[in-house]
Amino acid sequence: MLAGDRYAPGSYADSPVAKLLPIKIPGAGREAVDSSVIPFVTPAGKQSKMMELSPDLSADDNQQAWSLVRPLFHVPRLDGPKPGATVLATLSDRSDRPEPYPLIAWQRYGTGKSMYVGTDKLWRMRFKRGDEYHAAFWGQAAQFLTLSRLLGENKRVRLETDKKVFRTGERVLIQANVFDSEYHPAKAEAYSVVVESVPPKGEPREIVLRRVPVAEGLYQGYFTADQPGSFEVVSRLEEPRHVNKADFQVETISREKLDPAMQKELLQKLSELSGGKFVRMEELSSLGDSLPDQSRVLPMPPQEMEMWNNWAVLAAVLGLAGTEWFVRRRNDVA
């Protein structure tokens, strides 16, 4: 669903369509958006190929491309994403809200997927780029929503993890979309899956997934990746032809690479312990004012200088010589 200026999604609040959407609709209404607000790609969005506007762009350049979508003027009033929904992009004013605004989100529904785009201003990505970014997003969105069914992945039980690569100690979100033999959403309170290493190593671990109340047939649970290796999530409650396997990788990543962003609180603590001061980049111009004045005046010893190394003397000599030559020539003096 693409949000519009008048009807979508507010006019669907009390209709069956609202159940399909990954966002909660309180009813009709819109809220103004400041002209500086832009779409902000979430960590889940960075993992999704759908949000990658060009394979040649770095993560920062990709975000810069998304920043072309402004001004947004207005967005529909929402009550946030539904549990189980994956938010791919929010508004950059997320710090001013109780929770980030789900601008682009998707969820599983039945044996398929539904997606919501909260603005009809994505055409602004054509600025100075033609249709490169705009067509890439919508083409990848169409593939994402339909390709799994075309590849025969519309099984009665669909297992997924929120990412394909995790670091040791990180929690792996496991989701199961479960339907009975007549393709009705499962009603049980829990659903069990097994996580096993590939190739088999050690005992498989059973994970109990709990039902998500507002998403029929959807179950969620977590597995802690405590050792590196390849793993897969399987179900032993179904025949293999009715369920897929979800594979993922666990890698050991150095602490230095875990979060390269600025750690403000840690830097402030280190500066306090070391007797220093925390200064942001925009405050560097005032750094000198905060340093104690420890300047000293040192006498310079006398230095000898060759006269011909002085340009003033050389210029004076050349000037006098030139003047003499000019006077002699004018008065015809030999």
Check whether residue 16 and residue 111 sit in a common domain: yes
Domain at 174, CATH number: 2.60.40.1930
- What DSSP string runs through 84-151? T-EEEEEETTGGGSSS--EEEEEEEETTEEEEEE--S-GGGGGTTTTTHHHHHHHHHHHHHHHHHHHT
Query: Is 276 a domain residue?
Result: no
Secondary structure of residue 236 in the 3-state scheme: coil
**What integer pLDDT is reported at residue 205 of this predicted model?**
93
Query: Is 268 a domain residue?
Result: no
- As averages over each run of 10 residues, the pLDDT of the chain (334 residues) reads 91 91 91 93 88 90 93 93 90 86 89 90 90 92 78 73 86 89 83 92 91 84 90 90 89 66 79 84 79 81 71 84 86 72
Query: Is 299 a domain residue?
Result: no
**23: CB partners within 8 A, 6+ apart:** 9, 78, 79, 80, 81, 82, 85, 102, 105, 116, 118
Query: Is 134 a domain residue?
Result: yes
**What integer pLDDT is reported at residue 235 of this predicted model?**
92
**Which pTM does this prediction carry?**
0.56
**What integer pLDDT is reported at residue 42 of this predicted model?**
93
Check whether residue 171 and residue 135 sit in a common domain: no
Check whether residue 49 and residue 139 sit in a common domain: yes
**What integer pLDDT is reported at residue 259 of this predicted model?**
61
Query: Is 261 a domain residue?
Result: no
Query: Is 87 a domain residue?
Result: yes
**What integer pLDDT is reported at residue 41 of this predicted model?**
95
**Cβ neighbourhood burial of 63 (10 Å; 0-12, 13-18, 19+):** buried
Domain tally, the chain: 2
CA distances from 120 to 4, 71, 136, 145, 185 (A): 6, 11, 16, 19, 33
Check whether residue 143 and residue 183 sit in a common domain: no
Q: Which one of 231, 256, 281 terminates a domain?
A: 256
Check whether residue 226 and residue 208 sit in a common domain: yes
**What integer pLDDT is reported at residue 238 of this predicted model?**
84
Check whether residue 80 and residue 199 sit in a common domain: no
**What integer pLDDT is reported at residue 334 of this predicted model?**
62
Check whether residue 73 and residue 111 sit in a common domain: yes
Query: Is 263 a domain residue?
Result: no
Check whether residue 119 and residue 30 sit in a common domain: yes
164's tokens: 């394909």
Check whether residue 252 and residue 178 sit in a common domain: yes
Q: Which one of 210, 237, 256 terminates a domain?
A: 256
Q: Which one of 122, 150, 178 terminates a domain?
A: 150
Please give the single-letter amino acid code of residue 243. Answer: V
Check whether residue 92 and residue 58 sit in a common domain: yes
Domain at 29, CATH number: 3.40.50.880
Query: Is 98 a domain residue?
Result: yes
Check whether residue 68 and residue 93 sit in a common domain: yes
**What integer pLDDT is reported at residue 151 of this predicted model?**
52
**What integer pLDDT is reported at residue 149 of this predicted model?**
61
Check whether residue 116 and residue 247 sit in a common domain: no
Range of the domain at 21: 10-150
